[in-house]
Structure 1
Amino acid sequence: MPPPSRTARPTSLSCARQERLKARKFFTIGHDYRGGGKGPGIKLINGKALITTGMTMFCPPRGRRGFALPLAETPHFIEEKGYRPTRDLEANGFYWFISQRTKEVFESVDPEGFAFVPCDFTLPDGSKGDQRYLCDVIRELDAIDEEKSKVKVEYEGEWKAYNPMGGASIVFDEERTGDAHVFKQIHLGGLICDDVLRDACKSAKLTGILFRDAADL
């Protein structure tokens, strides 16, 4: 005797429901140091003039990220001869040196996560380069889910640090990350972004950015 018929249940969730249930992925984000060679030839030529009172170098203000504004001068970079062309994102000191289109992508995804300062940029032949900016991630969060993560936690007195050297799998608590797409994780070197910002950068084909899956460091 055949089994009684049953009303078929849907085998898939709606796209909207799937998106809500899909956990975001998180990545470390930084300049792409791979490739060898002579690297970038950018040089900040007026760095001494940009040092603020009480500091010994051009860097974020003590106790926070970003820039001590207003700066005494516009940062002026030159691209020296014999190096590879400057990419959309390069590392320079405590900051990133980025292109106009990189700034536009960052601002479109997370305008409150970044700070920017416009720069002068001179090419090797002495002509004016494209518009460039110094950039810093200014949001800081303590969002690591230690129970779900596999990462060394080191203590020195009251100081705490996460050490991913030797391999780590870092999981973030999304209640603490909230709507942030980029942030500096407290006690962890490097910067963190989610797949929304990563995908936007890849879609725009930005060069010079390296992403690593935080769950597989």
Structure 2
Amino acid sequence: MPRPYVLLGCAMSVDGYIDDTTPERLLLSNAADFDRVDEVRANTDAILIGATTMRRDNPRLLVNSEERRAQRVARGLPAYPLKVTITASGDLSRDLKFWHHGGEKVVYCPDTVTTKVRETLNGLADVVSTGPTVDHGAMLDDLGGRGIRHLMVEGGGTIHTQFLTQGLADEIHLAIAPIFVGDSAAPRFVNAGQFPGGSAHRMKVAEVRSIGDIVLIRYLPKETSGDSTS
């Protein structure tokens, strides 16, 4: 079965941060951009966040629009996309909102923590081993076998870095907020890593548009812009 098309979605500050270090989540998007994200979610088959983001932000990760959920059902789809997470440590609390809202859930993890995760969640999600390590390719193969054709990845930075350094992302949506965070301890869109092509690879820009005070940029990381300077 073909692997799903992978879209990375992220809101960040002008200086590349996706949050600050305060206990409250930093809301980078405006109302119109949150609605755009809801529309993207409604048109995808599955949504993925990393376990660290789950623990830090405790999101429900839903399609919030009742109309969009109804449109999904009218198309013969579940009201909510499949919710996906991946964990190396297996440290997942069953009290997180992720498990108790929306539709079906699946967790991908290494062999070493599969039993631990199954015992913790006790039926709240399907738990799938990816082998001796966290294997994103094995995860995408399994999702493809489940009929998932479009996967939206909402982070955080470690997950984004893993998908990008392994060449697994087909598209990136960057919503840039007109603020600076300026705190080196805050999480960033991506971490240090060896990205395909390195600094010589210039990604193709598919779209640039403003959404109120947000600038949305769509990149196609597997394609090249062809632009260069001498």
Tell me if both proteins adopt one fold, taking TM over 0.5 as the criterion.
no
Bigger Cα Rg: 1
Q: Which has the higher helix share?
A: 2
